[in-house]
Structure 1
Amino acid sequence: MTSSAADRKITALRGDGIALAEAADEFLSTHRVANPNTHRAYASAIDRTIAAIGGRDRLLADVTDAEISKALTALWGGCAPATWNRNRAAVASWLSWCSSKKRWAAPSVPAEAERRRENVDHTKAVARTKLERLLSRRDIPLRDKTLYRMLYETAARAAEILSLDVEDLDLDNRKAPVRSKGGDVEWVYWDAGTARLLPRLLRLPDGHCDGVVRTRGPLFLANRKPVPARRPGPEHICPHTGRPRLGYDRVRVLMEAHLGLDPHQLRHSAATHLGEAKVPLQLIMAKTRHKNPRTAMRYTRPGGEAVAEITAVLAPPRRTH
């Protein structure tokens, strides 16, 4: 082998000619991000980071650790610890795969962009009476009201419900299949509140043949059609309206504005309310699809209303005259 041929082989092995876009595409095609929800979240974080460090055509080997830190800070430095950690982990997983699995020259997430502490908040569950009042508000748009009610009644993760398509729904039996964190297909179930709202949500909006019902495509849609540069795959576009699937980040913003809550609080509240109703832990685990009892018990911590109610047991006996 000539010296120049050997040099080219070493260059290829090091990934000196690998562009950021190519490195990202290869990583996103691996089994570790096969779950659609994980794939969507990782792709969003990685694409935004690539845009912040010079664009898709820049070479991976030219990017420095300091640039990765600067990009993460600019994109998510002011966000909540959970948001920072989630996006940081996606980028770190990608870069680690490039350097360890492919042996490419790649930057890493430096120490100054370390994972942030997420404080455990035992007040996340919302009292049932307050939550019912919030979910019944008439000033919340139909799409958002249906989503919030469905998240609570299914006790599902927001990403799972947002990934549902219209054809997934079994309206008669009030259930639908979702793909869990581990990739398994599981069922979520809803009750009367969601069942009343879904038929209204599936009617096409004004200007789209009134009276026609959507039969295919994403269940929850964004308000506007996507711009060409950010157009998602056809599986994320409604064939009736041309609008894309509603995204998690947008839901988080809207729910904060409508309810003052985080999407996960609805799942947490549902588990807590089931526990307060003395539903056995095994059934709560079946509902929330937790595999570990210790994890499920963390979500079923009794709320303030339940603690206040049992406190009456400690009151002094009433005097009788």
Structure 2
Amino acid sequence: MRRAAVPGLVPRPTDRALTAATAPADFTEAWLRNRRLSAHTREAYRRDVAGWLTWCAGADLDPLQASFLDVNAYARVLEATIDPRSGRLLTPATVARKLSALSSWYAFLVRLRAVPANPVTDADRPRINRDHSATIGLTPDQVDALFVAARADPRPNGGRNLAVLALLADLGLRVGELVSLNVSDLGHERGHRSVRFVGKGGRSRRRALAPDTARILDAYLDERARAAATTVDSLTGPLLVTATGARLDRHAVFRLVRRLARAAGLPAWDRLSPHSLRHAFATTARAEGVPLEDVQDAMGHADPRTTRRYDRDRHNLDRDPAYRIAAARSARAATTG
């Protein structure tokens, strides 16, 4: 049955009906529908393209006629823009991310033959130091101090807050992955307690829960079940909830991490984020001798260079391969001599 037309409402074209005459905003929605993205990434990309379209409108520029010179001009504007959250200029990584989203948008338009070429391809993008991460990391002792602060916190939802901390620190989850978890994502696989989630790029992933992490989650779920006068097996919906039962959001997790960091007396507590715990996960894992490829798999990185960026101890001369090579040579000489 065909839907009746609503007077005054222009119908949105289907993906197959997109043409060069289609409104750029409709191109954006079609582009996002055809990408496997988390809800958070989808919204960020939507904002990135909307920012470009707003700039084009102010410059009286048709975005479907833009050249790499126009993209360069826009990039210079971004580089001079103050981030309202930090009060500082946008970082090169942020500018590069916005241009990357724009490039993906134009690549979609090229495939639809709405534009002849991608104007971002030849644009002058910021150089990103892949050997550097702007995230403020935490040492193992500082992570331990956060756990102490969480256990000593007299506020309600103490069990939930401890569960948030354990999932961030012991699994290195992204905050979007964390808040998207449901009770049904917890399970058992081949003798392991496990959790399943949708990672970056819409990929389904699973991770093992260490015994301590599993115990913290069990205690939290027992606490929730008692408060609801039900059993753990009857709990459904979001894994991490507010006092009203709503899904915990990323902003609440940011506030929680900074509050606990302040209570723990950590320096730069007001600049820490959930990503600081993800950073600590990678750094600690490498310091404990976990192979790079295993850390890469655990973190869901497609490029090992991304994982290495978190490993700030990688330049420690104690880890120079020369020592192992020389030791192996000496051992061979001892057995043959």
Matched, 1:152 2:169: yes
Q: Is the 8 A contact 2:171 2:207 kept in 1?
A: yes
Q: Classify the secondary structure of the residue corresponding to 1:217.
A: coil
Provide the residue aligned with 2:331 in structure 1: none
CA RMSD after TM alignment: 4.9
Residues 254 and 274 in structure 2, CA contact (< 8 A), matched pair in contact too: yes
The answer to which structure, 1 or 2, has the higher relative contact order (CA under 8 A, 6+ apart) is: 2
* Residue number in structure 1 paired with 2:257: 255
Q: 1:16 matched to which residue of 2? A: 21
1:26 Cα deviation after fit: 0.8
Q: Deviations over 1:291-310 (max 9, x none)?
A: 65555444344399998xxx
Aligned length: 268
Q: 2:238 aligns with which of 212, 218, 233?
A: 218
Distance 2:21 2:79 in 1: 23
Match of 1:128 in 2: 140
**CA deviation digits over 1:60-106, x for unaligned, max 9?**
95899799888998795655637834762465146414542334479
Conserved in 2, the CA contact under 8 Å of 1:160 and 1:178?
yes
Aligned-pair CA distance for 1:25: 2.1
TM-score, normalised via structure 2 length: 0.58
Which sections of structure 2, spanning at least 5 residues, go unmatched? 1-16, 55-60, 262-268, 319-337
Alpha-carbon distance between aligned partners in 1 of 2:256 and 2:314, rounded to the nearest angstrom: 25
8 A Cα contact 1:164 1:218, kept in partner: yes
AA aligned to 1:18 is: A
Q: Is 1:42 matched with 2:62?
A: no
| Equivalent residue runs for 1:160-309 within 5 Å | 160-170=177-187, 173-181=192-200, 183-202=202-221, 209-213=228-232, 215-221=235-241, 241=245, 243-244=246-247, 246-247=249-250, 250-259=252-261, 260=269, 261-281=272-292, 283-290=294-301, 295-302=306-313
Report the 3-state secondary structure (helix = DSSP H, G, I; strand = E; otherwise coil) of the residue aligned with 1:198: helix
Alignment check: 8 A CA contact 1:164 1:219 kept:
yes
Contact between 2:138 and 2:276, CA under 8 Å: does it hold in 1?
yes
Identity %: 20
Query: Is the 8 Å Cα contact of residues 143 and 169 (structure 2) preserved in structure 1?
Result: no
